[in-house]
Amino acid sequence: MKHLLVLILLFIPFIKAFSLNNTFNDEGKINVIVIGAHPDDADGSTGGTAIKFAELGHNVLFVSLTNGDAGHQSIGGGELARIRRAEAEEAGKRFGVKYIVLENHDGELMPTLELRKDVIRLIREWNADIVIGPRPNDYHPDHRNTATVIQDAAYLVIVPNVVTDTPPLKKNPVFLYTQDRFQKPYPFQPDIAIDISDVFDKKIYGMAAHESQYFDWLPWTVGIEAPTGEKERLEWLSSNRERVIAPSVRQSLIKWYGEETGAKVTQAEAFEICEYGTRPSDEEIKRLFPMIK
């Protein structure tokens, strides 16, 4: 009996991660999955866009491929993983999305065949129309390997004889990269830009749920201290996350929102279309991103 209990406890994270049941087939609903390496990665890159999808009644899933158990200066291992999971759960509530954290170690993520299969299952079970993740050019190996495993899953999500325990998608999703600052081998290209000015404060509030990340770990890595009060923390995080819109992103905003509206946007999130998924037309992009008006 004791051994059975141990086995159940070991498999609870796995069961939780794959309990989507492929229920997202509502007519007219858009299913978006955002995959990051760590708890908080999806929030920072796509949080505003996710809020807009959720507010319009669409389905958004945030996935962290690691449990974040290495990202802290004084806590680590299982204790930190539990903290990061609880923070992600709270963040999901604030963003209005479902949040899944897989049990892979932070700092040790590799684009293995098993991880590829896990990602294929998640994309299929979410019945994804849009898959969003990082580009493979990044300072952090977990980020790079997350990008690689997503790329490796692209196309295979429609192949019936791959991961046969989960039905394949009928159509390949649109795969998108999130914006980054890296220039080599080529800089980020903003094919799609979303105005998040009106939900930026909500995004900051959602991100702030990751207290151990934004108010402990990241400040420590650069030798500073974050404020302690809730109001002060939100203001501090907001000031650190406000971004001057790059000229290329501004041009993308003008393309999608028009000259007058696009020129007034103060905060935006941008995405590059990955060649490995469906190559959407402008009309298809407008359908998949109904917040563009």
Per-position DSSP letters for 95-163, written without gaps between them: HTSEEEE----TT-----HHHHHHHHHHHHHTT-SEEEE--S--SSHHHHHHHHHHHHHTTGGG-TTSS
User: What pLDDT, on the 0 to 100 scale, is given for residue 26?
Assistant: 66
Cα 86 to Cα 44, 54, 179: the distances in Å are 17, 21, 27
User: What pLDDT, on the 0 to 100 scale, is given for residue 25?
Assistant: 54
User: What pLDDT, on the 0 to 100 scale, is given for residue 13?
Assistant: 43
Cα 94 to Cα 43, 159, 209, 260: the distances in Å are 11, 35, 8, 31
**Tokens 């945030």, residue?**
62
Q: Are 40 and 17 in contact (CB under 8 A)?
A: no
Give the tens place of pLDDT for each residue, 22-47: 444 567 899 999 999 999 999 999 99
User: What pLDDT, on the 0 to 100 scale, is given for residue 27?
Assistant: 72
Contacts of 113 (CB under 8 A, 6+ apart): none
Comparing C-alpha atoms, which of 98, 59, 94 is closest to residue 204? 94
**Structural domains of the chain ordered from first start:** 27-288 (3.40.50.10320)
Count of all residues that appear for the chain in the document: 293
Tell me the sheet residues that pair with 60. 32
**DSSP strand E in the chain: where?**
31-36, 59-64, 98-101, 130-133, 174-178, 192-195, 268-273
Q: Are 67 and 102 in contact (CB under 8 A)?
A: yes
Separation of alpha carbons 281 and 124, rounded Å: 23
pLDDT per residue, tens digit, the chain (293 aa), is 444 444 444 444 443 444 454 444 567 899 999 999 999 999 999 999 999 999 999 999 999 999 999 999 999 999 999 999 999 999 999 999 999 999 999 999 999 999 999 999 999 999 999 999 999 999 999 999 999 999 999 999 999 999 999 999 999 999 999 999 999 999 999 999 999 999 999 999 999 999 999 999 999 999 999 999 999 999 999 999 999 999 999 999 999 999 999 999 999 999 999 999 999 999 999 999 999 99
Comparing C-alpha atoms, which of 96, 66, 111, 110 is closest to residue 84? 66
Separation of alpha carbons 293 and 282, rounded Å: 13
Cis before 160? omega within 30: no
pTM over 0.75: yes
Give the tens place of pLDDT for each residue, 222-270: 999 999 999 999 999 999 999 999 999 999 999 999 999 999 999 999 9
Q: Are 120 and 153 in contact (CB under 8 A)?
A: yes
